[in-house]
Amino acid sequence: MTLQQLIIPVTVTAEQIVEYGHASGDLNPIHMDPEAARAHGYRDRIAHGLLMMGICSSQITEALGKKPERLSAKFKDIVYPDDPLQLELETTSDGAGTGSLTGQDGTVKIALEFGLKGGNP
């Protein structure tokens, strides 16, 4: 099986976070208001986990040329708006793979497993 490695730059904006909050109905102040987030110990508003999973899924779909039938994510760390991130993917010729969304310092934000065929990752 052929192994392919990809690195895709990813950034989420404050506007995307707010738009996702309204679309999803998750209006928790730590996502919507930087002051409220700081009051809870964060340096800024934080991205919704499912927003970031959706962004990763879209990038995987674009990279593979087909939407994965299975995708699992383990959320490891917080994502802040405008932080430079990279999605590192390792895929086999059958479309199975693993990946991680990492920060500039190498901190894993989300660990991913995916595949073009159904079943548990």
Would the pTM of this model clear 0.85, i.e. be above it? yes
- The closest of 116, 99, 58, 55 to 81, measured between CA atoms, is 55
Whole-angstrom Cα Rg for the chain: 15
Domain annotation covers residue 91: yes
Domain annotation covers residue 120: no
Give the range of the structural domain holding residue 101, as residue numbers without chain letter. Answer: 3-115
Mapped onto helix, strand or coil, the DSSP state of residue 97 is: strand
Domain annotation covers residue 25: yes
- The closest of 71, 99, 105 to 85, measured between CA atoms, is 105
Residue carrying structure tokens 């934080």: 46
In total, how many domains does the chain have? Answer: 1
Mean pLDDT by 10 residues, the chain (121 residues): 86 98 98 98 97 96 90 97 97 89 97 81 48
Domain annotation covers residue 63: yes
- Kindly report the CATH number assigned to the domain that includes residue 30: 3.10.129.10
